[in-house]
Amino acid sequence: MNVLGPLDIEVVHPDDFLLDQLDLAPRIVLDVLREQAAHTRQPALTPVDLIARLARCGVPGFADEAGRLI
């Protein structure tokens, strides 16, 4: 983990960031995943499809945890 000098900003991996968000506000994160999937048209995605794509994009821990909750 790095802290960006006087700004006191911690750099974290996207997987860790999303897992933190899921831990802090699971209902909101899951609602956002459902909404994002509902607005995806080409191709149309279910929330489960979206989560599978997120796993392939580098956030497998988040995808596993969100997949258990969705």
With tokens 């968000």, the residue in question is: 21
Residue 3 inside a domain? The answer is no
> Are 19 and 65 contacting, i.e. CB atoms less than 8 angstroms apart?
yes
Per-residue pLDDT of the chain (70 residues; tens, 9 = 90+): 566 778 888 889 999 999 999 999 999 999 999 999 999 999 999 999 999 999 999 999 999 999 999 9
Residue 52 inside a domain? The answer is yes
- Provide the pLDDT for residue 2: 63
- Provide the pLDDT for residue 6: 80
Instruction: Report the number of distinct structural domains present in the chain.
Output: 1
Model pTM above 0.85 = yes
Residue 4 inside a domain? The answer is no
Mutual angle of helices 26-38 and 14-24, in 10-degree steps: 110
Residue 2 inside a domain? The answer is no
- Provide the pLDDT for residue 4: 79
Residue 1 inside a domain? The answer is no
Residue 42 inside a domain? The answer is yes
Look up the domain containing 36 and give its range: 12-69
Residue 6 inside a domain? The answer is no
